[in-house]
Structure 1
Amino acid sequence: MSQLEQLQVFQSLHRSPNARLQRSAELGDGLAAAVWSNRHDARDYQAPSHHTLSCYLTGGTGTFRRESPHSKGAPDKLCILPAGHQSAWVINGEIQLAHLYISQEQFALAAVSLLDREPRELELREGTFLDDAQQAQRFRQLSQLDWNEPAERLLSSSLAHGLVSHALLSQVGRREGLRLTGGLAPLQRRRVREFIDAHLDQPLSLGQLASLCALSEYHFARMFQLSFGLPPHRYLLAQRLLRAQQLLSGSALALGEIALACGFASASHFSNRFRQAFSATPGQYRAALTD
């Protein structure tokens, strides 16, 4: 099953007889994008498991949430639909809008790397018909690119990450009334992050990481997931792929050398993992940067 087929907001629109999917793509890194048109419709979103950022490209002046009928949309208005939210929408007239879908795993990675905070401490605040010229411009650029063309797909991924980072910096706050239990202490979390970053070229075991915190492997894995929002092996793979992207764009190293520098057993293993994450081989990624 593809990522898009698992996205509740995407599927809700896809089931509508009035909505039309103009195009969509999985951009890698737990991100996916779509451009929709819709007219004279009503849509409900019930506790999706993913975050959704949206921007009205055209229309929207007859669109509102059922509980707030006097607040209407317009071109360049933004909406933020966090995972777990509920909303009901009425669409009068015609609209065109762009969606960016964000997995909770990608949100967790961004929270750790950008804010150095535990993802469970934070929540993406719901927003309806917001004004943010910078985000609207990113959405318009994203919607105009050819997501199937390698170079433009690379720019699309970059714009999508820019949208996520901006949302984290402007629309994320600490959960109210939160009392954290379990997880790694801040010093332990930082020690593990720094150790992983410094040893990405080496085979790392769960036992090595657990020993940094003086915990058993089982207990460490549970505490790591609480603090980082994903299991250790997923975090390690994400950091290796990030380092690979940096080396592909900022060095002339051969692909085999990059594979070894990022801790992959072989060039073929590196290529397979990279393609699974980004829907492109390392060579295609580098070629797109060159183009």
Structure 2
Amino acid sequence: MESLNVHEERSLLAPELLARWRGLPLGWYAAAPQVVTPHSCGSNPLLAMIDSGHARAEFGFLRRTEHKDIGAGAIGLFNGLVDSRYSKWQCRSVRRIMLALDTDILQGSGLLCEELSSIAWAQDTEFHDPDVALLLRSMVREIAAGSPNGALYAQSLSLGLLLRLSSTHRVDAAPPRERGRLSPVQRREVEALIRADLAGDLSLQKLADAAGFSLPQFTRLFRNSYGQSPHRFVLQQRVARAEALIRAGALPLAVVAQLCGFSSQSHMTSVFARELRMSPGSLRRLSRGNAG
């Protein structure tokens, strides 16, 4: 993660939180009021976003200089190929999100297939994309919370970001959009794996392997088949199983959370509040009242 801190600024994420993250390498930093950073051609591709605050930036390239007046949500993609000599920053209450598009790291983590492993990224020092901004901020929130949603969520966010950028910032033509669906047999295989491993830390790779597809193709086929992402579908299954166990009334809530794949009882409580508009304890009291 230190390689992401190109401006040598204060990290807002503790090392132990970053160690739990299973997605693309990411850092969140409090920007210095003024900084000058030398650059050189050949560094790894980097995605950078102003998460909050306001900044004035100057990018010095070999044959030109760019001046930017940018606020929250401004994103830059630096592909490591354009010869950049330096950047100068004047920042006011700026927090940056920095994310590495390092092909070697991604291949080593199992997140990439052939379709995404050799993308030539188009450099863009400033663009705005609400989808990319949402994904980056969701990553930061997940890491700051201790990655309670596990590898599946981290990989879903990371793959979603890669697919989004590949449709807007790849040099070569975008691949054709996958319009098919999982077959009934493939759906049964995937659903059986989810039921069997609901208490574990499911990953996109396991689900894709069960269906026999690459990660990007599986993600598109799954969404076409179920109308939602794999993470969202698995979360709903966990909530449904937890609800059934709580209504049965025999197990402590902490045990229910463990059996259903939640990282803790508090994680299950926060998910219930969002999905069911009630806490697990309220559901148990309501169930006991109805039983009486």
2:44 maps to what in 1? 50
1:96 maps to what in 2? 95
- Paired amino acid for 1:34: G
Query: Structure 2 vs 1, CA of residues 64 and 72 (structure 1 numbering), >3 Å: closer, same or farther?
Result: farther
For residues 170 and 131 of structure 2, the distance between their equivalents in structure 1, rounded to whole angstroms, comes to 17
Match of 1:251 among 178, 195, 200: 195
**Once the two structures are aligned, what percentage of the paired residues are identical?**
11
Match of 1:77 among 74, 79, 85: 74
Offset, 1:250: 2.1
Query: Structure 2 vs 1, CA of residues 156 and 255 (structure 1 numbering), >3 Å: closer, same or farther?
Result: closer
Offset, 1:254: 9.2
SS in structure 2 of the partner of residue 123 of structure 1? coil
Offset, 1:92: 0.9
Query: Structure 2 vs 1, CA of residues 97 and 254 (structure 1 numbering), >3 Å: closer, same or farther?
Result: closer
- TM-score if structure 1 supplies the norm length? 0.51
For residues 126 and 113 of structure 1, the distance between their equivalents in structure 2, rounded to whole angstroms, comes to 22
SS in structure 2 of the partner of residue 173 of structure 1? coil
Residues 72, 129 of structure 1: 8 Å contact kept: no
For residues 98 and 75 of structure 2, the distance between their equivalents in structure 1, rounded to whole angstroms, comes to 10
2:30 maps to what in 1? 37
Structure 1 stretches of 5 or more lacking a match?
Answer: 176-245, 263-282
1:63 maps to what in 2? 57
Offset, 1:126: 0.9
2:185 maps to what in 1? none
Offset, 1:48: 5.2
Query: Structure 2 vs 1, CA of residues 284 and 145 (structure 1 numbering), >3 Å: closer, same or farther?
Result: farther
Residues 239-286 of structure 1: per-residue CA shift (max 9 Å, x gap) = xxxxxxx78972315999x9xxx7xxxxxxxxxxxxxxxxxxxx9994
For residues 157 and 36 of structure 1, the distance between their equivalents in structure 2, rounded to whole angstroms, comes to 22
- Paired amino acid for 2:166: L
For residues 123 and 106 of structure 1, the distance between their equivalents in structure 2, rounded to whole angstroms, comes to 16
- Paired amino acid for 1:70: H
For residues 72 and 198 of structure 2, the distance between their equivalents in structure 1, rounded to whole angstroms, comes to 46
For residues 33 and 285 of structure 1, the distance between their equivalents in structure 2, rounded to whole angstroms, comes to 28
For residues 85 and 249 of structure 1, the distance between their equivalents in structure 2, rounded to whole angstroms, comes to 45
- Paired amino acid for 1:57: D
Q: Which has the larger Rg?
A: 2
Query: Structure 2 vs 1, CA of residues 106 and 146 (structure 1 numbering), >3 Å: closer, same or farther?
Result: closer
1:180 maps to what in 2? none
- TM-score if structure 2 supplies the norm length? 0.50
Alignment map for 1:1-291 (pairs within 5 Å): 4-5=1-2, 7=3, 9-10=4-5, 12-14=6-8, 19-23=9-13, 25-26=18-19, 27-28=21-22, 31-38=24-31, 39-47=33-41, 49-66=43-60, 67-87=64-84, 88-94=86-92, 95-105=94-104, 112=113, 114=115, 119=118, 122-147=119-144, 149-152=146-149, 154=151, 155-174=153-172, 250-253=194-197, 286-288=261-263, 291=268
For residues 123 and 259 of structure 2, the distance between their equivalents in structure 1, rounded to whole angstroms, comes to 37
- Paired amino acid for 1:252: A
- Paired amino acid for 1:46: S
Residues 166-215 of structure 1: per-residue CA shift (max 9 Å, x gap) = 1122211239xxxxxxxxxxxxxxxxxxxxxxxxxxxxxxxxxxxxxxxx
Residues 21, 34 of structure 1: 8 Å contact kept: yes
Query: Structure 2 vs 1, CA of residues 114 and 288 (structure 1 numbering), >3 Å: closer, same or farther?
Result: farther
- Paired amino acid for 2:26: A
- Paired amino acid for 2:91: G
SS in structure 2 of the partner of residue 28 of structure 1? coil
Query: Structure 2 vs 1, CA of residues 248 and 71 (structure 1 numbering), >3 Å: closer, same or farther?
Result: farther
For residues 159 and 64 of structure 1, the distance between their equivalents in structure 2, rounded to whole angstroms, comes to 31
For residues 91 and 97 of structure 1, the distance between their equivalents in structure 2, rounded to whole angstroms, comes to 12
Offset, 1:127: 0.9
- Paired amino acid for 1:91: W
Offset, 1:81: 1.6
Q: Aligned-pair RMSD on alpha carbons?
A: 3.8
Structure 2 stretches of 5 or more lacking a match?
Answer: 174-189, 207-257, 269-292
For residues 168 and 107 of structure 1, the distance between their equivalents in structure 2, rounded to whole angstroms, comes to 15
